[in-house]
Amino acid sequence: MARKIIGRKREISQLENIANSDRAELVAVYGRRRIGKTYLVKEFFNEKFDYYATGIFEGSQQDEIDAFCDGLYQKQRVAKASIKSWMDAFSALRQYLKGLRKKRVVVFLDELPWFDVPSGKFLKAFEWFWNSWGSTQDNLKIIVCGSATTWMTDKFISGKGGLYNRTTERIYLAPFDLSESEALLRHCGIDWERSLILDAYMIFGGVPLYLSMLKKEKSIDENVDDLFFREGAPLRNEYDFLFRSLFKDSDYYMRIVDAISSKNMGVSRQDIASQAKVAANGTLTTALKNLVSCDFVRKYNAFGKKERDALYQLTDLSILFFKRFVEKYNGKDERRWTNIIGSPARRVWTGIAFEQVCLLHVWQIKKALGILGVLTEVCSWRFAGDEYNHGTQIDMLIVRRDKVVNLCEMKFSAYEYEISAKYSRELRERCAIFRSVTKCNYALHITFVTPWGLKNNANSGISNSCVVISDLFASKS
């Protein structure tokens, strides 16, 4: 049934089970915008739906109703003037679907949150449609899709109304990892070596749409210039549109992201409120939850800290790139990215972006270390310093149930990374401070994550293990 779909093997298996089941199905497909939700559903079903509708961005209630019923209008199954409410719309859809004598009836409703305009009673009508009729039709498969992840989870999947616990399957689409990104680029005819794919991933993240926009006849730097910096660049305003399409108070959300992006290791909730100049209330709590659910931000506890001390860290690589280089671009240098090769700003960003890539590939790092079967917790640690020890930090710790802690040093380098005598001393001192301050009695293993491995010298023995670029490209399938 499915045409060529890159990756998504688990999701395809879910859709196959849904398509072949002998019961009514109400399926929610969700994930951040541009991640390929619509593409997955359309490709799997070869765009052969018995009914299809998609919401309109910032449409009025009548706009949304007309978009929902467009197929019925075209088929002349219902007069446009007769549809005045969502109850009318769903009643008309029910009558149309009743007339289909098929073994399987597939309905695809895309951008579902956009249908739900304030006071429009969309969800109430959907609840009535599904609970009173749809759920009893064993041949009916309804697939709904939405980029407003929190709306999908809070209002549709886990809402307290009549749709509570009514979805029969939930399909969450995460960004691609490096292996899937490599497969997508090859499918697009781009056969780059892995170091270049890593460069692209640090800029675009695992967002399929962005990666599919790369041109094989151009270098990665030329592609970036074309997509972000030339006149009319297609991704120049992507950040603004992304937030406006997901969040009603987009300016508020962007202020929160500004605060979170101010520190690489993450920011506390209180510091976010202070820096963004917003109240530390329920509105902020909801915004942070939404940003986490959209894969823009991760929430984590630093080593030895409690839930109330949680930190929020920007993990969306495309947003990180935008904040560093695109947001304040004045439009005068169409080769901006190419022209700053080797600049301090680019070198600093590369190190930060590579650390985020590592945090997004913990599974691959654990596989390389041979500890996939070991229960672990991933966190960071920082120490401000006291009268006995100076301040220090460790960006990624893998705390293992087998009483080992991997202290991960993530170092981007175009060549084998060379550990100097000075750096070796710093690492030993960092381990000593960590053990002294945290009272941790686990074995401490220093793990380097660096693309081309370590250069063998008198100081390389301080590393207990090393994860390289080929490890980060390991496939989960």
How far apart are alpha carbons 476 and 456 in whole angstroms? 31
pLDDT of residue 158: 81
Nearest Cα residue to 140 out of 22, 48, 42, 40:
22
Q: Is the sign of the CA dihedral 80, 83, 89, 94 positive or negative?
A: negative
C-beta separation of 235 from 329 below 8 A: no
How far apart are alpha carbons 422 and 424 in whole angstroms? 5
Angle at 32 between CA 31 and CA 33, to 5 degrees: 120
* Burial tier of 279 (Cβ tally within 10 Å: 0-12, 13-18, 19+): exposed
Alpha carbon 24 to its chain centroid, in Å, reads 30
C-beta separation of 18 from 25 below 8 A: yes
For the chain, list the domains and their CATH numbers: 9-172 (3.40.50.300), 178-236+329-355 (no CATH), 239-323 (1.10.10.10), 361-472 (3.40.1350)
How far apart are alpha carbons 120 and 61 in whole angstroms? 6
* Count of CB atoms situated within 10 Å of the CB of 471: 17
Report which secondary-structure segment, H or E, holds 410.
Answer: strand 404-410
Nearest Cα residue to 357 out of 203, 157, 170:
203
C-beta separation of 365 from 410 below 8 A: no
Q: What is the mean pLDDT of the chain?
A: 93
Nearest Cα residue to 465 out of 400, 395, 409:
409
How far apart are alpha carbons 134 and 127 in whole angstroms? 10
> pLDDT tens digits for the chain (477 residues)?
445 889 999 999 999 999 999 999 999 999 888 999 999 999 999 999 999 999 999 899 999 999 999 999 987 778 888 899 999 999 999 999 999 989 999 999 999 999 999 888 999 999 999 999 999 999 999 999 998 887 888 888 887 777 878 899 999 999 999 999 999 999 999 999 999 999 999 999 999 999 999 999 999 999 999 999 999 999 999 999 999 888 888 999 999 999 999 988 889 999 999 999 999 999 999 999 989 988 899 998 888 777 777 899 999 999 999 999 999 888 788 999 999 999 999 999 999 999 999 999 999 999 999 999 999 999 899 888 888 888 899 989 999 999 999 999 999 999 999 999 999 999 999 999 999 999 999 999 999 999 999 999 999 999 999 999 999 999 997
| Segment 179-203, tens digit of pLDDT | 999 999 999 999 999 999 999 999 9
DSSP secondary structure letter of residue 372:
T
Residue with tokens 């893998």: 398
Nearest Cα residue to 381 out of 440, 296, 421, 314:
440
Report which secondary-structure segment, H or E, holds 314.
Answer: strand 311-314
